[in-house]
């Protein structure tokens, strides 16, 4: 699924990318450096209180129990892997 807006821990990013949901994993791919840097900072603490992914006004995905499991940069693309937690 494509998206154009992310809301992470009450911070909103206007960024385009792709969302892949394969329970319990979620993968976000984007070229937006601000999003990549934000997730890179979260990778250390692995604390995401809430995340919502939108395309226009339509919410495509949301969770309040998720953590960063992996982050890679390939050719200017940020690939962020998230994992739902049972906490």
Structural domains in the chain (count)? 1
pLDDT of residue 35: 95
Domain that holds residue 67: 2-84
pLDDT tens readout for residues 46-71: 678 899 999 999 999 999 888 888 99
More confident residue, 25 or 55: 55
CATH at 53: 2.60.40
Per the CB < 8 A criterion, the answer to whether 41 and 34 are in contact is: no
Q: Give me the residues paired with residue 72 across strands.
A: 79
pLDDT of residue 87: 61
pLDDT tens readout for residues 39-51: 988 866 667 889 9
Tokens 């997730």 locate to: 39
Residues sharing a CB contact under 8 Å with residue 6, sequence separation 6 or more, in sequence order: 12, 13, 15, 17, 28, 35, 51, 52, 53, 54
């Amino acid at each position: 699924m494509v998206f154009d807006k992310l809301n992470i821990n009450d911070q909103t990013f206007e960024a385009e990318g792709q969302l892949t949901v394969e329970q319990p994993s979620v993968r976000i791919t984007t070229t937006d450096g601000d999003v990549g840097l934000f997730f890179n900072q979260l990778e250390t603490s692995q604390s995401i209180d809430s995340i919502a992914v939108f395309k226009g006004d339509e919410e495509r995905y949301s969770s309040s129990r998720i953590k960063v499991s992996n982050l890679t940069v390939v050719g200017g693309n940020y690939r962020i892997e998230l994992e739902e937690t049972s906490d």
